[in-house]
């Protein structure tokens, strides 16, 4: 039976809790209720209140307590009900968790699960992609899986990592994406991108839900005789620049794609990184498809206009191919 993205996260959490008694969960409504998205349904009954801690509505307390527990050698997994609410625990994560190792050589093993992304009519407070707040904070690792396999493998790696990891799980993928997962134990290493479709004419570099948009566009473009390679970053920090640059060497044309807003998005960092390393391989300007610099709107026609989609990617890819 194939496994949903949500079920994959759940399996990863469950297996790590079975494997290591130091792993525990904390967050709002995650215990008795099973989480706002039901990722942790059944955990409370199985693991008990000691290891599945329902907290007050208190993101600073959740983030801070996770750090304190991590410093003591436990492996907390903190759930933010929505990635948007991570702002309320921002100080603890950015000013403390991120700096502990560098400042005073203290490890903070912890994971913050951040359900992010639009396409669910969540509106401006429940749809953001705030990964860049953390990507540009040295000391934090940032992952953003697109597939059930990576979702499971990366949550397990994040829990085992000895540095704080912000784990962005895209809400629109929870029940929409399915995959047959191997029966046995597996992990996905943090810091490795993956070529999810090979191609010759141009590379789409992306991550998260946009991987599926890229694949949809690539499939349609193949019908027009345009061969598109798709690279799924999977991890944003540490960034696998080598896999990105290898793809550029093969195709010589780059389209950067993210659901996050435009200015200061991942595309900017990738573009400079590519020109620094493989400029001489480029046959065209680097282009990007992103959300515009607005809050995420609620009403369907507005949200559809906001979100990148296959049509927008195809248009840009055709231009790039002709160049």
Partner 1 sequence: MSAAQALTPDDPPASAEQAALAHRCLYFMSMMREVEDRIERKLYRQGKIVGGVYVGRGQEAIPVGTALLSGPDDIMLPAHRDLAVFLIRGVPLGRILAQYMGRAGGLTRGRDGNMHMGDLSHNIVSIISALAATVPVAAGVAMALRYRGSSGIAFSYFGDGATSRGDWHEGVNFAAVQKLPVVFICNNNQYAYSTPLSAQMACAHVADRGSAYNIPAEIVDGNDVFAVLEGAAHAVAHARGGKGPYLLECKTFRMTGHSAHDGAEYVPKELFEEWSRLDPIVRLESRMLAEGWAGQPELDRVRAGIRQEVDEAVAWAEQSPLPDPATLLDGVYES
The catalytic site residues sit at: 126
Residue number with CB closer to partner 1 (103 or 175): 103
Residue number with CB closer to partner 1 (73 or 301): 73
CB 75 to partner 1: min, Å: 10
Q: Which part of the chain contacts partner 1 (CB under 8 A), choosing from 66-74, 175-183, 218-226, 295-303?
A: 66-74
Residue number with CB closer to partner 1 (60 or 311): 60
Q: Does 50 bind partner 1 (CB under 8 A)?
A: yes
Question: Which position among 74, 222, 245, 302 is part of the footprint of partner 1 (CB under 8 A)?
Answer: 74
Half-sphere exposure of 78 (CA within 13 A, CB side): 32
CB 95 to partner 1: min, Å: 6
- What single string gives the DSSP state of each residue in 78-98? EEPSSGGGGGGGHHIIIIIGG
CB 102 to partner 1: min, Å: 5
Both structure tokens of 186: 């597996």
Q: Does 157 bind partner 1 (CB under 8 A)?
A: no
Q: Does 70 bind partner 1 (CB under 8 A)?
A: yes
Q: Which 8-state DSSP code applies to residue 171? A: G
Residue number with CB closer to partner 1 (1 or 105): 105
CB 163 to partner 1: min, Å: 5
Residue number with CB closer to partner 1 (33 or 102): 102
Q: Does 238 bind partner 1 (CB under 8 A)?
A: yes
* Residue 289 contacts residue 308 (beta carbons within 8 Å): yes
Q: How far is CA 37 from CA 9, 40, 55, 172, 231, in A?
A: 12, 8, 16, 11, 28
β-pairing, 141-143 vs 75-79, is unpaired
Q: Does 29 bind partner 1 (CB under 8 A)?
A: no
Both structure tokens of 188: 């996905």
Q: Does 160 bind partner 1 (CB under 8 A)?
A: no
Q: Does 135 bind partner 1 (CB under 8 A)?
A: no
Q: Does 67 bind partner 1 (CB under 8 A)?
A: yes
Q: Which part of the chain contacts partner 1 (CB under 8 A), choosing from 93-101, 128-136, 222-230, 253-261?
A: 93-101
Q: Does 69 bind partner 1 (CB under 8 A)?
A: yes
CB 69 to partner 1: min, Å: 4
Both structure tokens of 276: 């620094």
310 Cβ contact list (under 8 Å, min separation 6): 213, 216, 217, 220
* Residue 4 contacts residue 177 (beta carbons within 8 Å): yes
Pick the closest to residue 23 from 78, 75, 66, 79 (CA basis): 75
Burial of 298 (0-12, 13-18, 19+ CB in 10 A): middle
Q: How far is CA 289 from CA 23, 88, 133, 231, in A?
A: 39, 30, 20, 15
β-pairing, 202-206 vs 228-232, is parallel
Question: Which position among 35, 76, 148, 297 is part of the footprint of partner 1 (CB under 8 A)?
Answer: 76
Please work out the total of residues on this chain that contact partner 1, with binding judged by CB under 8 A: 42
Distance separating alpha carbons of residues 100 and 98, to the nearest angstrom: 6
Residue number with CB closer to partner 1 (163 or 260): 163
Which residues lie near partner 1 (CB under 8 A)?
24, 50, 53, 55-56, 58-74, 76, 91-92, 95-96, 100-107, 138-139, 141, 161-163, 238
């Amino acid at each position: 039976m194939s496994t949903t993205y949500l079920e994959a996260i759940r399996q990863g959490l469950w297996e790590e809790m079975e494997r290591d008694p130091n792993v525990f969960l904390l967050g709002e409504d995650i215990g008795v209720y099973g989480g706002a998205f039901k990722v942790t349904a059944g955990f409370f009954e199985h693991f008990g209140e000691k290891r599945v801690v329902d907290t007050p509505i208190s993101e600073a307390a959740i983030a801070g307590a996770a750090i304190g527990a991590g410093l003591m050698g436990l492996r907390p997994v903190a759930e933010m009900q929505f990635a948007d609410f991570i702002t309320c625990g921002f100080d603890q994560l950015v000013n403390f968790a991120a700096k502990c190792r560098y400042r005073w050589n203290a490890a903070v093993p912890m994971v913050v699960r951040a359900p992010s992304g639009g396409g669910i009519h969540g509106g401006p407070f429940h749809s953001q992609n705030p990964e860049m707040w953390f990507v540009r904070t040295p000391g934090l690792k940032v992952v953003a899986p697109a597939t059930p396999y990576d979702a499971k493998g990366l949550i397990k790696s994040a829990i085992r990592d000895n540095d704080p990891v912000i784990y962005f799980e895209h809400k629109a993928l929870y029940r929409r994406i399915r995959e047959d997962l191997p029966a046995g134990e597996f992990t996905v290493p943090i810091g490795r991108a993956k070529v999810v479709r090979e191609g010759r004419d141009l590379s789409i570099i992306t991550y998260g839900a946009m991987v599926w948009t890229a694949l949809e566009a690539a499939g349609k473009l193949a019908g027009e005789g345009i061969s598109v390679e798709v690279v799924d970053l999977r991890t944003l920090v540490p960034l696998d620049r080598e896999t990105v640059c290898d793809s550029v060497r093969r195709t010589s044309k780059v389209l950067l794609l993210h659901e996050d807003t435009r200015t200061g998005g991942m595309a900017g960092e990738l573009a400079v990184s590519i020109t620094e390393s493989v400029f001489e391989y480029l046959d065209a300007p680097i282009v990007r498809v992103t959300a515009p610099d607005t809050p995420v709107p609620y009403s369907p026609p507005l949200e559809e206009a906001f979100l990148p989609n296959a049509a927008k990617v195809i248009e840009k890819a055709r231009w790039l191919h002709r160049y």
